[in-house]
Structure 1
Amino acid sequence: MSLAGFGRAELEAMLVGLRPKLHRYVARMAGSAIEGEDIVQEAVVKALAAHDGGALVARPERWLFRIAHN
């Protein structure tokens, strides 16, 4: 599966669905729910920018978590 194969609406729906799981992960990692929200927002912005740039991603969920982790 690639992000380039997703329409913008499908990507946004995927991001909405993953947001709670991603937030739990990064909030634990950062030690703060507020800091976690900032990290999630940055990861979503980067994912949308990559989609708009035609990024090819085999595993979008893993990729999103990697963005947030870094």
Structure 2
Amino acid sequence: KPHSFEKATAPVDAENWISHMEKIFDVMGYEDVFKTRLAVYNFEGNALAWWKAYKQAKGGDAWLVMVTWADFKK
């Protein structure tokens, strides 16, 4: 089961969560176009609020379809 992500108190927290998600993506064989959406699905609380504001500032759903997994991890 994918872990939810609410906040990172240190950069390593986000790195560990991304590693966890990548392990799931590899096992399930997810294509790159789905990885960002599936990761964001697990955002909660502060992370979800930040993501909604960030996505809107970037252009909303039209921008989201262009975001690669590599871009998301930056």
Q: Which has the higher contact order (CA 8 A, sep 6+)?
A: 1
TM-score by length of 2: 0.38
User: TM-score normalised to the size of structure 1?
Assistant: 0.40
